Chain A
Amino acid sequence: GQQVMQIPQYQHVQEGEDFTTYCNSSTTLSNIQWYKQRPGGHPVFLIQLVKSGEVKKQKRLTFQFGEAKKNSSLHITATQTTDVGTYFCAGPGNRDDKIIFGKGTRLHILP
């Protein structure tokens, strides 16, 4: 079945350092979504990418969709303690009628 692989599983960074998480699919994705889950909370939608090679920015967060639409990345510049949480990518299933999540990357910020 459709799988969305996400790496790394965990990342510890010093506050102020950059952070990147990567998402890969074995098949072409029509779109990819990114979510953030704070500790003890529920996932919250961040952004959706649809076009090949698309790049979107939200303040310190930069999202990219690969040219082949099989991979995506989320890059955070100069991390802050408020960035702590788990970041998930999600893509449509085989028939484009369901949404499948990667396993997520848990970000820890060291003060």
Chain B
Amino acid sequence: NAGVTQTPKFQVLKTGQSMTLQCAQDMNHEYMSWYRQDPGMGLRLIHYSVGAGITDQGEVPNGYNVSRSTTEDFPLRLLSAAPSQTSVYFCASSSTASLGAYSPLHFGNGTRLTVT
């Protein structure tokens, strides 16, 4: 039972490089999301999706793009990496029972990204 799978686990980028963080879930969850975690800042929502073909911005979307072409996959793209994007990134999914009463979020193991 894989759950939410994130790749890679670690990544080092140089300023200006681009990359895609992969996220896949095998639970047929409608809702998927990306968070970044920085010391003292908690978990901040970057982008989220309530279903295939639908994405929306979270609290800190600048510098990141997402797409949701399938239910299973929700990649996060950094178009031009900056040192401020050094962080731990978590992908999470849930089956939305109904608005206002979410099912629990299932998190991946995270990707630790360093931008030099």
Check A96 against B42 for contact (C-beta < 8 Å).
Answer: no
Are the C-beta atoms of B99 and A9 separated by less than 8 Å? no
Interface residues on B, range: 20 to 34
The secondary structure that dominates the A interface is: loop
Q: In the complex, which residues 99-116 of chain B have their Cβ closer than 8 Å to any Cβ of chain A?
A: 99-102, 104-110
Chain B residues in 8 Å Cβ range of A41 = 109
Q: Which residues of A contact B99 (CB under 8 A)?
A: 30, 92, 96-97
Asked whether A33 and B102 contact (CB < 8 A) given A99-B33, A99-B45, the answer is yes
* B98 vs chain A, min Cβ distance (A): 9
Number of CB contacts from chain A to chain B under 8 A: 69
CA distance A90 to B33 in the complex (A): 14
In the assembled complex, the CB of A110 is this many whole angstroms from the nearest CB of chain B, namely: 21
Q: How far is the CA of A30 from the CA of B96 in the complex (A)?
A: 14
Set of chain A residues within 8 Å of B90, measured between Cβ atoms: 42-43
B42 near A103 (CB under 8 angstroms)? Answer: yes
Cβ of B44: which chain A residues have Cβ within 8 Å of it? 101
Mark each residue of chain B from 29 to 56: 1 if its CB lies under 8 Å from any CB of chain A, else 0. 0000101000011111100101000001
* Chain A residues, CB < 8 A from B106: 45
When A31-B102, A97-B50 are in contact, do A42 and B42 touch as well, CB less than 8 Å? no
Q: For chain B residues 65-116, which have a beta carbon within 8 Å of chain A?
A: 90, 92, 94, 99-102, 104-110
Closest CB of chain B to A34's CB: distance in Å? 10
Taking a contact as CB atoms closer than 8 A, the residue among A33, A45, A96, A98 that contacts B58 in the complex is: A98
Contact in complex: A42, B110 (CB < 8 Å): yes
Given A96-B99, A101-B42, A101-B43; 5 other pairs, CB 8 A cutoff: A43-B92, A98-B56, A100-B45, A102-B42, A103-B42
**Residues of chain B whose beta carbon lies under 8 Å from any beta carbon of chain A:** 33, 35, 40-45, 48, 50, 56, 58-59, 90, 92, 94, 99-102, 104-110
